[in-house]
Amino acid sequence: MLTAFNKNLSENPNRLGYLYESNPKEEMSKLRTRFLKDGYLFLKGLLKKDDVISFREWVFKNLKNTGLLKENIDPKYGIVSDSIYNNTNNENFLQSGRAQNSLVKKQISLIVKSTKYESFCSQPLLSNFIDEFIDGISYLHKRKILRHTLPKSDNSTPAHYDLIYLRAGTNNIITAWIPIGDIDIEEGGLMYLEGSHTQGIKIEKEFSIKNANLSKEEQINAFNKNMTEGGWISKDFPNLADKFNTKWLVTNFEAGDILLHSPYLIHASTNNKSSKERIRLSTDIRFQNVNDKIDIRWDHHWHEDDNL
């Protein structure tokens, strides 16, 4: 059963579907056309499975002494320790679904700045693909988000589209969401609201009309007075699918898979209900053509108190 924010997404099977798999070796023109039509590409096995697993292992090894992981189990499995729930500041925990204890936060802020993470995110298999896909030289935004979503958390990512947070640059942004290890459907990987990039364009137009009287600085602010809390579109996912008469698209992710999405596509995630008590590890990073206008607010390292 898929749940998020106390709603059951599995209740109406007509509102759920699977992501369409693309082969990264398909002709680039076909992949570009599919991205424009669907607002996303689910690239099966773009990265080498072993490289992804070994990066996962490295991340969890560096979180070993924080109390996050169950002891006496190889850290690469990312099995959560029960004690983390006791050490967690509940309010923040509920907001993010991520451990908020200071050791974990400190360690993650170091990992985010590491050469290993930088090179994982800019590895040639991905950067060459993006360069070819945009037919130019890609730029990777420095603010790269590394998420570890805990099982048994009531929280997940509310529905939103990315441009809300990136309004001060080009709208030709491509987000890459990378599962760092396998993420089964019930472990709450990313999901897309089918066809919603067209809605995202409309919603953003409405916001720009509402925001027109605000200062330039407020207009680009995802948290200005016209936005909902956190810049989210909704926390009621079944209702959103009904409203737009569409489906949430989910899948079982394997290490090596990658999602690419348009900055207007509405996406979210469900609760991590891992029966293996496995932490959902992923990163989401943003690319654009280096020639296009860059939102300089993204020129810093992400950290756990970054509001994203």
Ligand X SMILES: O=C(O)CCC(=O)C(=O)O
Distance CA 121, CA 113 (A): 12
Long-range Cβ contacts of 2-5 (<8 Å, 24+ apart)? 2/185, 2/186, 2/250, 2/270, 2/271, 3/270, 3/271, 3/273, 4/156, 4/188, 4/235, 4/237, 4/268, 4/269, 4/270, 4/271, 5/154, 5/155, 5/156, 5/158, 5/235, 5/236, 5/237
Q: How far is the CB of 196 from ligand X (least distance, A)?
A: 13
Whose tokens are 């459907």? That residue is 185
Which residue, 141 or 267, is less far from ligand X as judged by CB? 267
Which residue, 269 or 289, is less far from ligand X as judged by CB? 269
Q: How far is the CB of 259 from ligand X (least distance, A)?
A: 7
Which residue, 186 or 284, is less far from ligand X as judged by CB? 284
Which residue, 221 or 283, is less far from ligand X as judged by CB? 283
Which residue, 46 or 190, is less far from ligand X as judged by CB? 190
Q: How far is the CB of 195 from ligand X (least distance, A)?
A: 17
Q: Which residue is nearest to ligand X (CB)?
A: 284
Binding site for ligand X (CB under 6 A): 147, 157, 162, 175, 177, 190, 267, 269, 282, 284
Which residue, 84 or 178, is less far from ligand X as judged by CB? 178
Long-range Cβ contacts of 163-167 (<8 Å, 24+ apart)? 163/200, 163/204, 163/263, 163/264, 164/204, 164/207, 164/222, 164/227, 164/231, 165/222, 165/231, 165/308, 166/263, 166/286, 166/295, 166/298, 167/219, 167/220, 167/222, 167/295
